[in-house]
Amino acid sequence: MDSNKIKLLLTKYLEGSTSLSEEETLRLYFKTTENIPSEWEGYRMFFGYFDLAKTERYPKGRGKQKFGFRPWMAVAAIIAVIFSIQFYSSQHPTLSPDQKEAQLAFMQFKSNMMKVSSHFNKGAEKVAYLDYWNSTTQKLIK
């Protein structure tokens, strides 16, 4: 492409009076011509940018996304169910009748022992009072 013609087109371009096809000529010139006057480097840059900007797309990840059912999801769900059952049963072991009876007996024994210990404590308080009385009487004796 003759650079004089390009110069003419550029003047028209700056005036806003080039047609779309003339602008296409310019775009092609800057894209394919290696050696151009240095003051035209800016045009090359801008046309290059415009080309690139046109390829920008709306991001794929956005918008309506269909949730596709996959076979591996079924397998994963089954495995998850099995593991959760196993985990649950390991946390809450089921008791046999004998064990239940033993547990009940233990609970009764425990509550009895609690009662005994509370009475025992009452007794201990009295003993402590007795001790106090003792010491005061001894002071008097002296």
Partner 1 sequence: MQLIADQQFLDQIQDIRDKVFRITKRILVSQEEAEDATQEVIIKLWNLGHEKRNGFKSIEAYSVTMAKNHCLDRLKSKQAQVLTFDEAIAVPKTVSLQKEIEATDDLNWVTHLINQLPEKERMIIQLREIEHYDFDQIASILEIPEGTVRVYLSRTRKKLRNQFLEIQKHGL
In the chain, count H helices and then E strands: 5, 0
d(CA 37, CA 33): 11
SS3 39: helix
Residue 53 beta carbon to partner 1: minimum distance, rounded to whole angstroms: 5
Cβ–Cβ under 8 Å, residues 26 and 13:
yes
Helix segments in 55-96, DSSP class H:
71-91
Does 15 participate in binding partner 1 (rule CB under 8 A)? yes
User: Quick one: 68 or 97, whose CB is closer to partner 1?
Assistant: 68
> How far apart are the C-alpha atoms of 52 and 98, rounded to whole Å?
80
Does 13 help bind partner 1 (rule: CB under 8 A)? yes
Q: Which stretch binds partner 1 (CB under 8 A): 10-18, 66-74, 97-105, 132-140?
A: 10-18
Site map (CB under 8 A) of partner 1, residues 68-87, x = contact: --------------------
* Residues 40-59, interacting with partner 1 (CB under 8 A): 41-43, 45-46, 48-50, 52-54, 56-59
Angle between helices 20-32 and 3-14 (to 10 degrees): 130
Residue ranges binding partner 1 (CB under 8 A): 13-17, 20, 23, 38-39, 41-43, 45-46, 48-50, 52-54, 56-59, 62-63
